Amino acid sequence: MASMTHSAFTPKPQDPALEQIIKLAVMAVGGQGGGVLTNWIEDCARANGYAVQATSVAGVAQRTGATIYYMEMAPIGDRAPVFALLPAAGDVDILVAAEMMEAGRAIMRGFVTPDRTTLIASSHRALAVSEKTVPGDGIADSEEVIAAAEVAARRFIAFDMEKIAVDAGSMISASLFGALAGSGALPFDRASFEAAIKGSGRGVEASLRAFSAGFEAAARGTVETPKSGRAKPSAPGAPSGPKALIEQWATLEARASALPAPVRDMALTGLRAVVDFQDLDYGREYLDRVETVLASDDPARNQELTLEAAKYIAKAMAYDDVFRVADLKTRGSRFARVRGEIAPAKGAQMKLTEFMHPRAEEIVGMMPARLGRRLSASARAMRLIDRLFNKGRRLRTDRLLPFAQLYVLGGLRRFRRGTLRHALEMEHLEGWLAQALAYRRIDYALGVETLRNRRLVKGYSDTHARGLSKFDRVMDGVALLAGRDDAAHWCKLLREAALADEKGNQLEGALKTVRSFAGQAETALAN
Amino acid sequence: MAERSFAKEVQKLKLGEGDTFTGEGILALTKALLEAGVGYVGGYQGAPISHLMDVLADAEEILTELGVRYEANASEAAAAAMLAASVHYPIRGAVTFKGPVGINVASDALANLSSSGVTGGALVIIGEDYGEGSSIMQERSHAFAMKSQMWLIDPRPNLPSIVQSVHQGFELSEATNTPVMLMVRIRSCHVTGSFEAKDNKRPPFTVKDALANPRSDYARVVLPPMSYLQEHDKINNRWPAALAYIREHRLNEVFGPSEAPVGIVLQGGMYNGVIRALQRLGLADIHGDTEIPLYVLNVTYPLVPDEFFEFCEGKSAVLVVEEGQPEFIEQAFGSALYKTGRTIALYGKDVLPMAGEYTGQVMLDGIEAFLRKAAPDLLPARLRAPNSDQKPALPDLSKTVPMRPPGFCTGCPERPIFAAIKLTEMERGKHQIAGDIGCHLFASLPPFEIGGSTMGYGLGPASNAAFDGGGDRRSISILGDGGFWHNGLSSSIGNAVYNKSDGVIVIIDNFYSAATGGQDILSSRADNASKATGHPIADAVKGVGVKWVRQLDRTYDVPKMREILNEALTTDHVGPKVIIASSECMLNKQRREKPLAAKAIKEGRRVEKPRFGVDEDICTGDHACIRLSGCPSLSLKKLDDPLRDDPVASIDQSCVGCGNCGEVADAAVLCPSFYRADVVHNPGWAERSFGALTTRIITWLQTRRSSGRLEFART
């Protein structure tokens, strides 16, 4: 025990009344109605005989940024309590997170602790700009936040409160309020929560619906985690069409089904995509290619090579040309999907506008290969074609004539095999596939990674060109690596770098590294 | 009309003696001004006191009834200058703006006002924008009080204290002929609570009375030799008067036991944070009754040394809790202790951090560290023991959780302007671009990353002045309509004209001072009952001599914007090239139009509602569109398709159909995935019949094609 030299008094334990203070923080994204939620909680607490203090930051954070609302409450006594104005780490009883990463932010800041915090979080995601701009998949992993929440929170309630609110025609603030009430974390009865909504006087019905759904889900103590993980290839459904074609399809389907088990589902999915893109013959070509790869595959490796080939050959064969876009845009199933998404009210009509911007490249791409090649070789011809066609076109596909334009264009797909675009696509496909098989002979894993590089080719016009250029640069880098033990590993890193940013800065850096060690080896070899 | 309406809340301003007011800090401040018999009020909006301006605007009727003049001043400088009315006349006046940037702008007027001295109470209510949620550089307003010798009040952050400080502020100002700054921090402005109301007081002497009885006195004019005398008056008379007044009226407060080994000196605004830390240490109860004596400086300038010495009496150490830097109070007290030969230990920025907000954890750690050094026996046993705070090991989320800075709202009309600038830069290369203050500064963040500096409100083009002489590529500067009227017309546009600037100036006109909450300004298009709106920026620009002006009335027209930009960047014209890009702030537009549209639909009138969508079959998941948008409603979706590696673009129901997606897809030649769906509510008979016929034909064509080939249902 330390000496008591200059102490005038002995330390006391904490004031037990402090335990009565309920500390509640709401972490939200600007525009989610955090202010409304705060007002409701305040009104509810006051009506229950509590002294309440709420604070917020109404600055630029409102403009879609992360923001925090904080309140403290305690039963009213004869003297006013002193409340803090902002949450402190390790000292929050209830944390309401209006989005999954905001729950993560709360945990990071220490506002969620196992001794006291009830964490109520909506499991949906409002993606941050940094997640969306990545050319590949930049979406942050909710699973990690959920795993942390399970450890950090005393109680953890999570489900999609955004969906509940939207289904009820309301805002997430209402379903969050319902979840807070249903969690039982506040010592107030349901009626007093609902009275706060009724007292606010705007959109009461819809808010109460969302409140109720949130209340019940939370009362069940739900932890509903979002769906995640890769989509598994599923057995393709039966196509629609004339009987004769369906019979032929059955033969093709049987041929794909005869492939080894690890490949089968992916090959069926791929087959479906290419037949939908062109015709049954095209499907046969697809299976020919897949089987060629299979012939040089290694069953001991679980047919990984063929599996990736089945996926990426399908993608390469079902490329995005004008015919495909026109075909997809004019299908009945697409009209039905748009209608479902927009959900116009009964009796309302829907106009539909498409945004097309063909360039000379797309126009010559539709031409017969020889003519197309001649024209694209002539700068003057291309300029002329650009002048004639290169402009933004808005087509009202709910109107007959514009619809017919696209419809006819979509019908032209039967001439696709003769076009320049098709020739170019097939050259690229064959080159890539041959290269992958060549690498496979010296390094199985590198062969697999080379097939996966096809992921880099996507998009339209400039984006497509940039994708192709990234693909070429990665393949150039791979050429330096072939033969090394770590070639496949580096190939994967190069691809991931290429997907990380638009301009390819990270790829450039990764290539520099590769050249620094692999280039030397090459030089050494040459000497 | 401002973003948030206080029409309902301002009714609380009518409460009188015996009523209890419950509400937000800013509303309480307004109520206190009325109770104090204020004669005129004004200010300039900016977080965290934007809502104070909104409350005043919404309360204009109540103010007018009481004979109080309300001005929505053109800038903080204009607001501070208005306090001149209190120089000669016994009228209480109050203005409000954010600190310290507002005071930067106002400092000319404030320095003159302080030198002249005041007759009526003059109050400057500063919303100190410091710490989490702040939008500006992290500095202190305190220095301005010191340099001009204005008194600085920093009340405890609860409604009764804030309200009381307004009364005390006026009285202190009048007793010392000195303007007074009343500082409220971000959270105090929005803190909720209650206080006992008093009746509102009509100003005993109104601005109209003053006009009927004009006064002047050259002794008050800041000109030599009076200015020298004024300095001596500050030191010889006003300062001692302030010390006497503060002491006599107990503006500063002392809490806790009269005898204790140590004590804490704190700014009033720090009170709740200090108490919370003491509560957590077992040294204060729920009501704030503390075991450690507290000397609460509700007036942080001037300091009253005698009061401080009394507090130090019998103590071996004191801690100064002073947020921000430099540590003016600690320095002043340190110097006072040293000069009087005292040996009491002084703690402050050694146990507390020099920079940054004093959050709950910082305060707890700082006070604990102080006690550990100065009085370890006061700490509870659990804290004296080592390993007292064991925390569970949590997975590291710092790499997972993305940053979420503020950005453009859904449908913001500024987005397409920056998309056009980004496209222009892709074509012509990177340019020297200067930003300004306003929502448009969000363009400096991803995905646009346009603009590398901001030098102050309305100073965007001025901050490119070094490049006015021109060169390989013209400089571009951004200026918002708010900044334009605040200061930009003279400092930026006039400057560019006079210096024959070669630069391009893009003025972003969204019809409001949008970033501060959508207040009206001179060029607003809305009718405002008490203010003159509808003055076009183009006229003003031409009026100061700009010859090359292009007005774009629909910012969503990206090709047009690009064309104008290209013209501005290439024209032979000598002198500044000014582009005015105008479209209404979407937040305000929606607030206005949504209820009207809902009503029209209900009444059976024909209404078209646009929304955008993405065809997921056609989107390849390259996200090029997002890199030219960043719109909250344009997000990503993972498809249940094993052939897809990357998530595709997806537009949710919050889309307002602004048109940016279509324009950008078109202008940047992105991809054909976007579609716009216009839902026509209550279509007419002819439209319905024609539509039904067209649909029948289209459906027939679709069925015909489907029946002739194989098609697979898509997920």
Instruction: Flag if B291 and A331 touch (Cβ within 8 Å).
Output: no
Cα–Cα distance list, B613 to A127, B446, B619 (Å): 17, 23, 11
Nearest-by-CA chain B residue for A390 = B669
| % chain A with pLDDT above 70 | 92
Beta bridge partners of B122: B93
Report how far residue B603's alpha carbon sits from residue B681's, in angstroms, rounded to the nearest whole number: 11
Task: Of A79, A26, A71, A27, give the one whose Cα is nearest residue A52.
Answer: A71
> For B594-649, how does the pLDDT look when each residue is reduced to its tens digit (9 = 90+)?
999 999 999 999 999 999 999 999 999 999 999 999 899 999 999 989 999 999 99
Instruction: Flag if B260 and A89 touch (Cβ within 8 Å).
Output: no
What domains lie within chain B, and their CATH numbers?
Answer: 20-193+216-248 (3.40.50.970), 253-384 (3.40.50.920), 414-588 (3.40.50.970), 606-707 (3.30.70)
H or E element, residue A306? helix A304-317
> For A456-479, how does the pLDDT look when each residue is reduced to its tens digit (9 = 90+)?
999 888 889 999 999 999 999 999
What pLDDT is recorded for position A227? 53
Nearest-by-CA chain B residue for A452 = B645
Q: What is the mean pLDDT of residues A399-425?
A: 97
Q: Does A516 touch chain B (CB under 8 A)?
A: no
Least confident of A27-36, A173-182, A248-257: A27-36
> For A16-70, how does the pLDDT look when each residue is reduced to its tens digit (9 = 90+)?
888 899 999 999 888 788 889 999 999 999 999 999 999 987 655 556 788 899 9
Beta bridge partners of B613: B675
Q: Classify residue A453 by its DSSP letter.
A: G
- pLDDT beyond 60 at A127: yes
- pLDDT beyond 50 at A203: yes
- pLDDT beyond 90 at A162: yes
- pLDDT beyond 60 at A4: no
> For B115-135, how does the pLDDT look when each residue is reduced to its tens digit (9 = 90+)?
999 999 999 999 999 998 888
Instruction: Flag if B407 and A145 touch (Cβ within 8 Å).
Output: no
Residue A86 identity: L
- pLDDT beyond 80 at A526: no
Q: Classify residue A53 by its DSSP letter.
A: E
Residue B2 identity: A
- pLDDT beyond 50 at B113: yes
Please list every residue in chain B whose beta carbon sits closer than 8 Å to the beta carbon of residue A492: none
H or E element, residue A431? helix A420-442
Report how far residue A392's alpha carbon sits from residue B662's, in angstroms, rounded to the nearest whole number: 10
Report how far residue A447's alpha carbon sits from residue A439's, in angstroms, rounded to the nearest whole number: 5
Please list every residue in chain A whose beta carbon sits closer than 8 Å to the beta carbon of residue B632: 31, 64, 126
Contact A327, B635 (CB under 8 A): no
Q: What is the mean pLDDT of residues B36-52?
A: 94
> For B239-270, how does the pLDDT look when each residue is reduced to its tens digit (9 = 90+)?
999 999 999 999 999 999 999 999 999 999 99
- pLDDT beyond 70 at B389: no
Report how far residue A273's alpha carbon sits from residue B297's, in angstroms, rounded to the nearest whole number: 74
State chain A's mean pLDDT as an integer: 91
H or E element, residue B94? strand B93-99
What pLDDT is recorded for position A518? 82
What pLDDT is recorded for position A31? 79
A430: left (phi over 0), alpha (psi -120 to 50) or beta: alpha
Q: What is the mean pLDDT of residues B529-549?
A: 96
Contact B179, B122 (CB under 8 A): yes
Angle at A184 between CA A179 and CA A187, to 5 degrees: 125
Contacts of B590 (CB under 8 A, 6+ apart): B411, B656
Report how far residue B426's alpha carbon sits from residue B420's, in angstroms, rounded to the nearest whole number: 10
Report how far residue B461's alpha carbon sits from residue B505's, in angstroms, rounded to the nearest whole number: 6
H or E element, residue A325? helix A322-330
* Count of C-beta atoms within a 10 Å radius of residue B158: 24
Report how far residue B508's alpha carbon sits from residue B439's, in angstroms, rounded to the nearest whole number: 10
Which 114-133 residues of chain A touch chain B by CB within 8 A? 114, 126-133
Q: Which of A23, A32, A68, A86 is the best mutation test for B, with the most CBs of B within 10 A? A: A86
What pLDDT is recorded for position B392? 64
ipTM metric: 0.93
State chain B's mean pLDDT as an integer: 95
Q: What is the mean pLDDT of residues B381-395?
A: 63
Beta bridge partners of B254: B295
SS3 assignment, position B550: strand
- pLDDT beyond 50 at B101: yes
Helices and strands in chain B, H and E counts:
25, 23
Biggest CA-to-CA distance, chain B: 103
Which 52-71 residues of chain A touch chain B by CB within 8 A? 52-68
B501 CA: distance to closest CA in chain A (Å):
32
Please list every residue in chain A whose beta carbon sits closer than 8 Å to the beta carbon of residue B703: 332
- pLDDT beyond 60 at B318: yes
Strands B20-24 and B192-196: antiparallel
| % chain B with pLDDT above 70 | 98
Contact B326, B332 (CB under 8 A): no
Q: What is the mean pLDDT of residues B290-302?
A: 98
Which 373-432 residues of chain A touch chain B by CB within 8 A? 392, 394, 397-400, 403-404, 407, 410-411
What pLDDT is recorded for position B473? 96
Instruction: Flag if A8 and B259 touch (Cβ within 8 Å).
Output: yes
What pLDDT is recorded for position A228? 47
What pLDDT is recorded for position A59? 55
Contacts of A401 (CB under 8 A, 6+ apart): none
For the stretch A226-231, contacts whose Cβ atoms lie closer than 8 Å and that sit 24 or more positions apart, written own/partner, are A226/A100, A226/A123, A226/A124, A226/A125, A226/A142, A226/A160, A228/A141, A228/A142, A228/A143, A230/B642, A231/B638, A231/B639, A231/B640, A231/B641, A231/B642, A231/B644
pLDDT-derived band at A201 (thresholds 50, 70, 90) equals confident
* Count of C-beta atoms within a 10 Å radius of residue B469: 12
B177: left (phi over 0), alpha (psi -120 to 50) or beta: left
B194: left (phi over 0), alpha (psi -120 to 50) or beta: beta
> For A306-364, how does the pLDDT look when each residue is reduced to its tens digit (9 = 90+)?
999 999 999 999 999 999 999 999 999 999 999 999 999 888 999 999 999 999 999 99
Report how far residue B659's alpha carbon sits from residue B611's, in angstroms, rounded to the nearest whole number: 8
Please list every residue in chain A whose beta carbon sits closer than 8 Å to the beta carbon of residue B667: 392
Pair of tokens at residue B559: 């090709």
What pLDDT is recorded for position A30? 81
Q: Of A280 and A502, which is predicted with more confidence?
A: A280
Contact B64, B39 (CB under 8 A): no
SS3 assignment, position B458: coil
Contact B19, B40 (CB under 8 A): no
Report how far residue A400's alpha carbon sits from residue B697's, in angstroms, rounded to the nearest whole number: 8
Pair of tokens at residue A184: 């039982």
* Count of C-beta atoms within a 10 Å radius of residue A49: 9
| % chain B with pLDDT above 90 | 90
pLDDT-derived band at A13 (thresholds 50, 70, 90) equals low
What pLDDT is recorded for position B132? 87
Contact B584, B510 (CB under 8 A): yes
Burial track A175-214 (b if 16+ CB lie within 10 A, e otherwise): bbbbbbbbbebbebeeebbbbbbeeeeeebeebbbbbbbb
H or E element, residue B613? strand B607-614
